[in-house]
């Protein structure tokens, strides 16, 4: 199953391009499902069809779903949430605050995204197209499996088997309630589901991201930042789609300066994202809603190519042996060397790039080695271990 995520700054055309791509995939005969992780669902508006919490047929080979994240949270997090509520209440927190704290920000999107894992297991669809929330939320979303996994591991470090023996004593001694077996079971289940999802998302054979950009300063800047983040987290961006490009000939001179601005940023986009392929979609005379216009957009972008194909893949993290030492290479475009901070802690390598932080679990070969030095080779950070 191929999963394609659409992201980009707010309003650039993510939903429209996700919908157009989904129609393109369906036209190629692939059974396609389009879902949105954005709580402000707009797929229904784009297709002019009311979608709901279960997949609904839009056209031959194409189904759409607007996930009810609250239901998913209740299913997967319910038991843990009940425990956290009791835990917070035991610390004197009032119940409304406890309720708020037991579901953390980004969780709705995270649990929507978990649907990918479920569909990947059932193999019901050939392609899943995901219409994501604007970049900032998507970044938070894509780091959520890692953060939630960490959270679960560190807040509940005791194994379930040990819990049974410890509980009678713990409940007498501890100033807070000790979790029931069911809570541990729910956490274990969720931790492994998160790990599975992370594996799907990080595998370029299964998942890639399409970054939607408009040829304007702030949109391009945000896309560059997002791309650095994706590289750091090991996600593959396989296509850049520049949307709302002005047509070559416009009679009205009002747009002359806009055309010049776009030319500048189209150049910057090329310089920034090459060698990732870049395609563009023109600004149309009207908003793009409904199937006929979306289908036309798909043809404009993909021509006769398969929209589900992997247009580009480059693994951002590699490990090689060079001159007797191991070198971990991290593709980090748009990063100044002074921005990078490395810390090695046991099996963890912590790479901080500006405000972003990544925990890379070092592979076995690097476990008992120490960082020898780091240098930039073009856009690749090469960390040597000895």
Which residues in this chain contact ligand ATP in the complex, by CB under 6 A?
8, 10-16, 38, 42, 134, 243-244, 281, 283-284, 287-289
Stretch binding Mg ion (CB under 5 A), from 9-17, 74-82, 141-149, 200-208? 9-17
**Alpha carbons 20 and 6: distance in angstroms, whole number:** 11
Give the one entry of ligand ATP, Mg ion, none that residue 134 binds, where binding means its C-beta sits below a cut-off of 5 to 8 angstroms depending on kind. ligand ATP
DSSP 216: S
DSSP string, 178-206: PPPHHHHHHHHHHHHHHHHHHHHHH-TTT
Q: How far is the CB of 297 from ligand ATP (least distance, A)?
A: 7
CB 370 within 8 A of CB 385: yes
Closest separation between CB of residue 21 and ligand ATP, Å? 12
Q: CA–CA distance from 315 to each of 3, 230, 358 (Å)?
A: 17, 11, 16
Between 15 and 243, whose beta carbon lies closer to Mg ion? 15
Q: Kind of pairing, strands 32-36 and 127-131? A: parallel
- Cβ proximity to ligand ATP, 23 vs 84, nearer residue: 23
- Least CB distance to Mg ion at residue 300 (A): 19
User: Which C-beta is closer to ligand ATP: that of 128 or that of 353?
Assistant: 128
The minimum distance between CB 293 and ligand ATP, in angstroms, equals: 8
In the window 35-64, what residues touch Mg ion (CB under 5 A)? 42
Q: Which one of Mg ion, ligand ATP, none is in contact with 62 (Cβ closer than 5 to 8 A by kind)?
A: none
8-state DSSP, 8: E
CA distance 32 to 19: 11
Q: 194 or 239: whose CB is closer to ligand ATP?
A: 239
Q: H helices within the chain, ranges in order?
A: 14-27, 43-47, 69-90, 95-101, 107-122, 135-155, 160-173, 181-202, 217-233, 256-273, 291-302
Q: Smallest gap, in angstroms, from Cβ of residue 6 to Mg ion?
A: 8
With tokens 């036209």, the residue in question is 27
Q: What angle do CA 187, 190, 191 make, to 5 degrees?
A: 85
Q: How far is CA 217 from the centre of its chain?
A: 23
380/383 Cα distance (integer angstroms): 9
When the beta carbons of 8 and 64 are compared against ligand ATP, the nearer one is 8
Residue 77 and residue 107 in contact, taking contact as beta carbons nearer than 8 Å: yes
Question: Do the Cβ atoms of 187 and 80 come closer than 8 Å?
Answer: yes
- Which of the listed partners (Mg ion, ligand ATP, none) does 10 bind, with a CB threshold of 5 to 8 Å by partner kind? ligand ATP
Q: What is the DSSP letter of 365?
A: G
Q: In the complex, what is the shortest distance from the CB of residue 212 to ligand ATP, in angstroms, rounded to a whole number?
A: 6
Q: Which residue is nearest to Mg ion (CB)?
A: 15
Which CB, 297 or 383, lies closer to Mg ion?
297
Nearer to ligand ATP, 299 or 318 (CB): 299
Residue 288: contacted member of ligand ATP, Mg ion, none (CB under 5 to 8 Å, by partner type): ligand ATP
**Nearest distance from C-beta of residue 299 to ligand ATP, angstroms:** 13
**Shortest CB 324 distance to ligand ATP, Å:** 49
Residue among 3, 7, 15, 37 that touches Mg ion (CB under 5 A): 15
Residue ranges binding Mg ion (CB under 5 A): 14-15, 42
């Amino acid at each position: 199953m191929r999963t394609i995520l659409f992201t980009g700054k707010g309003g650039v055309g993510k939903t429209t391009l996700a919908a157009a791509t989904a129609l393109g995939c369906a036209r190629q005969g692939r059974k396609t499902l389009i879902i949105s992780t954005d709580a402000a669902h707009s797929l229904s508006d784009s297709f002019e069809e009311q979608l709901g919490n279960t997949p609904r047929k839009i056209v031959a080979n194409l189904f759409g779903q607007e996930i009810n994240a609250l239901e998913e949270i209740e299913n997967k997090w319910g038991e843990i949430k009940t425990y956290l509520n009791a835990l917070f209440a035991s610390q004197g927190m009032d119940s409304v605050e406890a309720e708020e704290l037991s579901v953390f920000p980004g969780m709705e999107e995270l649990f929507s995204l978990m649907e990918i894992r479920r569909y990947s297991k059932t193999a019901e669809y050939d392609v899943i197209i995901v219409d994501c929330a604007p970049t900032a939320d998507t970044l938070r979303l894509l780091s959520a499996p890692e953060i939630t996994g960490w959270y679960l591991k560190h807040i509940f470090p005791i194994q379930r088997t040990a819990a049974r023996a410890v509980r009678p004593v713990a409940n007498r001694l501890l100033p807070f309630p000790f979790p029931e077996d069911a809570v541990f079971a729910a956490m274990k289940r969720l931790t492994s589901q998160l790990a599975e999802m992370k594996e799907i998302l990080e595998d370029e054979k299964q998942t890639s991201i399409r970054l939607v950009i408009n040829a304007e300063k702030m949109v391009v800047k945000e896309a560059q930042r997002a791309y650095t983040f994706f590289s750091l987290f090991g996600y593959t961006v396989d296509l850049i789609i520049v949307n709302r490009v002005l047509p070559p000939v416009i009679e009205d001179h009002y747009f002359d300066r806009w055309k010049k601005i776009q030319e500048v940023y189209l150049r910057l986009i090329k310089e920034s994202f090459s060698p990732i392929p870049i395609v563009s979609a023109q600004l149309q005379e009207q908003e793009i809603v409904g199937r006929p216009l979306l289908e036309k957009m798909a043809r404009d972008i993909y021509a006769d190519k398969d929209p589900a194909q992997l247009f580009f893949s480059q693994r951002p993290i590699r490990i090689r042996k060079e001159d007797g030492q191991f070198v971990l290479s991290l593709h980090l475009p748009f990063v100044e060397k002074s921005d990078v901070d490395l810390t090695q802690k046991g099996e963890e390598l912590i790479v901080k790039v500006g405000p972003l932080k990544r925990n890379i679990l070092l592979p076995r070969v690097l476990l008992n080695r120490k960082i020898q030095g780091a240098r930039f080779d073009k856009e690749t950070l090469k960390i040597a271990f000895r």
